[in-house]
Chains A and B, each alone.
Chain A
Amino acid sequence: MTAPTTPSTPLVDKAQYGLAAFLVLAGGYVLLDAAGLEDGFADQPVQPYTLPYVVGAALVVLGILLAVATARGDRPEAEEGEDIDLTQGTDVRTVGLLALVLVANIALIDVLGWAITGALLFAGSAVVLGSRSWVRDLAVGVALSVGSWYGFYVGLGIPIPAGILDGVL
Chain B
Amino acid sequence: MDLLLDGFQTALTPENLLFAALGVLLGTAVGVLPGIGPAMTLALLLPVTYSVGADSAIIMFAGIYYGGMYGGSTTSILLNTPGESSSVITAIEGNKMAKAGRAAQALATAAIGSFVAGSIATVLLWIVTPQVADIVVTLGSPSYFALMVLALFAVTAVLGSSKLRGFIALFLGLAIGLVGTSTGQARLTFGEPLLADGIDIVVVAVALFAIGEALWVAAHLRRKPLEIIPVGQPWMSRADWGRSWKPWLRGTAYGFPFGALPAGGAELPTFLSYATEKKLSKHPEEFGKGAIEGVAGPEAANNASAAGTLVPLLALGLPTTATAAIMLVALQGYGFQTGPTLMDDHPDLVWGLLASLFVANALLLVLNLPMAPLWAKLLRIPRPYLYAGILFFASLGAYSVNFQAFDLAILLVLGVLGFFMRRFGIPVLPLIIGVILGPKLEDQLTTALKISEGDVSTLWSEPVAVVVYGVMALLLTAMAFAGLRKPSAGNVPTEEKEMVER
A positions within 8 Å CB-CB of B: 1, 15-16, 19, 23, 26-27, 29-30, 33-34, 37-38, 40-41, 43-46, 48, 51-52, 55-56, 58-59, 62, 65-66, 69, 74, 76-79, 81-86, 88, 90-92, 94-95, 98-99, 101-103, 105-107, 109-110, 114, 118, 121-131, 137, 140-141, 144-145, 148, 152, 156-158, 160-161
Contact = CB atoms under 8 A, between A and B. Distances in A.
B281 interface: no
Interface stretch (B109-117, B220-228, B261-269): B220-228
Contacts of A27: 171
B4 interface: no
B392 interface: yes
A140 B385 contact: yes
Given A33-B188, A129-B387, A144 B392 contact: yes
Contacts of B162: 76-77
6 contacts: A52-B178, A59-B175, A102-B211, A114-B399, A129-B387, A131-B384
B172 A26 contact: yes
B267 to A, nearest CB: 14
A62 B164 contact: yes
Q: Which 4 A-B pairs have the closest CB atoms?
A: A83-B34, A45-B449, A76-B425, A125-B388
B184 A48 contact: yes
A43 B385 CA distance: 54
Interface string B356-389: 0000000000000000000000000011110111
A62 B171 contact: yes
A118 B164 CA distance: 39
Nearest to A93: B219
A95 B213 CA distance: 11
Contacts of A144: 389, 392
A48 B423 contact: no
A165 to B, nearest CB: 15
Given A26-B175, A55-B174, A156-B51, A99 B416 contact: yes
Nearest to A4: B501
A130 B383 contact: yes
Contacts of B137: none
A99 B220 contact: no
Contact of B382 (A76, A90, A105, A131): A131
Given A26-B175, A66-B168, A105-B408, A33 B187 contact: yes
Contacts of A131: 382, 384-385, 388
Given A91-B221, A152-B400, 20 more contacts: A52-B188, A59-B168, A74-B164, A77-B162, A82-B35, A83-B34, A85-B220, A95-B215, A95-B419, A98-B214, A98-B218, A102-B395, A102-B408, A103-B412, A125-B391, A130-B384, A131-B382, A141-B392, A145-B392, A158-B400
Interface in B418-453: 419-420, 422-426, 438, 441-442, 445-446, 449-450, 453
Contact of A90 (B165, B188, B408, B423): B423
A32 to B, nearest CB: 10
A82 B172 contact: no
A85 B48 CA distance: 33
Interface string B387-411: 1110110011001100101001101
B430 to A, nearest CB: 12
Nearest to A92: B219
A125 B387 CA distance: 8
B383 A160 contact: no
Contact of B396 (A16, A29, A118, A161): A118
B412 A102 contact: yes
B221 A85 contact: yes
Interface string B156-192: 0000011011011001101100100001110110000
B219 A90 contact: yes
B81 interface: yes
A65 B223 CA distance: 37
B403 A106 contact: no
Contact of A37 (B48, B185, B224, B403): B185
B171 A82 contact: no
A55 to B, nearest CB: 5
B217 interface: yes
A82 B222 CA distance: 9
A72 B263 CA distance: 29
A1 B384 CA distance: 23
A121 B168 CA distance: 32
A129 B361 CA distance: 36
B222 A84 contact: yes
Contacts of B415: 102
B216 interface: yes
Contacts of A107: 405
A95 B218 contact: yes
Contacts of B399: 109, 114, 160
Contacts of B420: 19
Contacts of A123: 388
Contacts of A91: 218-221
B446 A45 contact: yes
Contacts of B95: none
B425 A78 contact: yes
A37 B187 contact: yes
Interface string B9-46: 00000000000000000000000001100000000000
Contacts of A103: 412
B446 A46 contact: yes
B395 A46 contact: no
B24 to A, nearest CB: 20
